[in-house]
Structure 1
Amino acid sequence: MNKGRAQCLVTRGNKILMVKHKQYGLEYYCLPGGGIEDGETPEDTAFRELQEECLVRGTNLRLISTVIHDNHYNYTFHANIGAQEPMLGEDPECMDNPILVGVDWRTLDKLCERDRAYLWAAGLFYIEEFAKELDSWGDDISYPSKRLQ
């Protein structure tokens, strides 16, 4: 049975801590996180993964999102790392073929549409600063294929 995934959403001002992955010829950003192991709670998993991937310890501010798709649970915790500076760690499950290639503080305007959509689904709109930004976007259609017409 798939127990799901848990991740941390860490923000500083208008920046979000993201981990850059390179896999199957694709590069993408996502939140630090990973699969829930036997005997772990989703919270334990999220903060273990934050430490493994970004080499920082975090504290849980709150659970901001639980998404269920095909019996797969994805938990997102809003985390605080204080003044610690993240650095690229590793994914112990991918030691022979590393997929983590970077750790960076990203602003929404420096992420592709797909990665931004992922963040909104993870509960980014529950963070006041980002909710205000979302409110400022207006009603224009910005779906990528619509812009090409």
Structure 2
Amino acid sequence: MRNTVIAIALSLACTQVMAAKLYKWVDENGVTQFSQQPPASQQYERMNVSAPPQLGSTPTPAHTPPETQAGTSSESGSTAAQQAEREQKELREAQCAKLREDLKTLENNPRLGRTNADGQMERIGEDERQAMMTRAREELASYCD
């Protein structure tokens, strides 16, 4: 039994380490690729991988764009400003997609729960759920539409 617990703990720790680095780039066919290894001959972007947000927390568009690292010079003649603008747009689109997904979850699941600071599961009340849906709709209207 003890060996099983140790094996599970180690596998969870390894999963966190492996998920720490993710690279994104566009190949010669225009297809976006993701990998744990950066490409050798193309410009790539290192993605910041973090734990999923807690239920009820919504992304705000005030986040800074992901760090871009140049592997080698790209053939595209885009300027740094255009690249930053494109990255900001992609980030906003991803945040809006996450916000829509959160709103859909809130609307379709009246019995939601979360883990409190003590590690105990607690149920989200209907009033709080409605407030969370209202806030998500307002943020969608402000930032995404």
What TM-score bracket applies, with the shorter chain setting the length? Answer: under 0.3
With normalisation by structure 2, the TM-score equals: 0.27
Higher helix share: 2
**Bigger Rg over Cα:** 2
With normalisation by structure 1, the TM-score equals: 0.27
Higher strand share: 1
